[in-house]
Amino acid sequence: MARSIPLDQQSIKRQNRRLILEALRRSGPLSRAELARKVGLTKSTVSSLIQELLDEGLLDEGKLHRLGLGRPGTRLEFRTENALALGAELGVDNTQVTVLDLSSQTHSEWDWVESPSTSLSERLFKLADQIRSRMPRYQKLLGIGLTIPGVVNGQTLIYAPGLGWRNQQPAASLEALLGLPVVLENDANAAALGETFWGESQSPLVYVVMTTGLGIGLVVDGQVYRGRLGAAGELGHWLTLTQQGRRAADVEDELSLRAMVEQYQARSQRSEGFWGILERAEQQDGYALEALENLAQQLGRFIVNLAVTFDPAEVVLGGAGAEAWKWLEAPLRKTVKELAFIPEHADLPVRPSAFGHLAPAMGAAALVLQRFLANGGTRDWSPPISTLGIRPTIGAQFARRT
């Protein structure tokens, strides 16, 4: 078992700053007295740390308020322009960008269509240009979170099968273009973290991304499980039964939006894609409804397998597939209930992501803000000093900057 490293006075101060910032992030504007009660620190300690945060421009004094018979106090809140993080998702056929602050407010959001054949370097140049043109003061960002649908180990992209990218360093490239720290993550992992960072979720949480492919992200006690090389969660590439020496098919060859569309088109002799199928389902088209019911049943069986693999407290469905939730929910729940290995899994909570198509980009921004908070609200990009930073981590570490 890994041993905790004793903290020096500066590290303890960062810990206490983190407690204050986390309390403000989760509870909104609070007075010094309220903060002292919430975080369990003395009023003098809180006042001293608050003054530091005010001097650094991270906090602002808010409105006066009165509690009981004492003197009125001022509530403290984030100065949002100094607490911004940008999240960017490089999808197979689009790029999505969002800018958020520590109060969960969205400051900017935009996207554009891309070709899967575009090189990674071209994608990064365009992303950097977009950030410069849309954010004249982008240098004030705390950092950039970047997600890609592939195997990510530290700051290295090992393989993105849908894009054909191998052994690339996108974080370092984007840092060189913009002069800002960049953290790289798999899209499903980032989306899973975003569910826990921006909302209230149970642990362990499994996040299922259903798009043209299939993947999952797993978060345990606020930490992403990545595995040794960052390949944990690539369950779309589980192999099905082998066929006389030939390579077995991947699970996502049968369970994905791509597979559903192919099956629908073969049965109906029509040409609609996923969104067209949803439109046909709204019109009660039998082929569309059948395709969605089959998808729900396959997804239900997949979730039953996830239940005995990870025993999660909650499963969240994300990606474009979540947009079909109103058709998927009933047959999915019925399948889980019928096939659950133990009775407790029969009613396993399953829900669509609260953040829709923005989930990976929002998760990417959360990676930056989580790092910032873990370091006590400083821009120091060294390993974080926090309860998360001194306990054994799960899977690959976030690479240390030199």
76-109: pLDDT as tens digits: 888 888 889 999 999 988 999 999 998 888 999 9
Amino acid sitting at position 345: H
Select 82-194+358-374's CATH number: 3.40.640.10, 3.30.420.40, 3.40.50.2300, 1.20.1530.20.
Answer: 3.30.420.40
pLDDT at 395: 41
Which of residues 55 and 287 earns the better pLDDT score? 287
Q: Write down the pLDDT at residue 393.
A: 36
pTM (2 d.p.): 0.82
Tens-digit pLDDT profile for residues 283-317:
999 999 999 999 999 999 999 999 999 999 999 99
Q: Angle at which helices 257-268 and 286-310 pack, to 10 degrees?
A: 150
Is there a common fold for 9-65+72-78 and 82-194+358-374? no
Could you tell me the pLDDT band of residue 244, with boundaries at 50, 70 and 90?
A: low
Distance between CA atoms of 334 and 277, rounded to whole angstroms? Answer: 22
Q: Given pLDDT bands bounded at 50, 70 and 90, which one contains residue 387?
A: very low
**Domain layout of the chain by residue ranges:** 9-65+72-78, 82-194+358-374, 200-353
pLDDT of residue 68: 53
Give per-residue burial for 21-58: e unless 16+ CB within 10 Å, then b.
Answer: bbbbbeeebbbbebbbebbebeeeebeebbeebeeeeb
Higher pLDDT, 327 or 247: 327
Q: Which fold has domain 9-65+72-78?
A: Arc Repressor Mutant, subunit A (1.10.10)
Using DSSP bridges, classify how beta strands 73-78 and 59-65 pair: parallel, antiparallel or unpaired.
antiparallel
Pairwise CA distance, residues 194 & 318, whole Å: 11
Residue 114 binned pLDDT confidence (cut-offs 50, 70, 90) = very high
- Tell me which CATH homologous superfamily contains domain 200-353: ATPase, nucleotide binding domain (3.30.420.40)
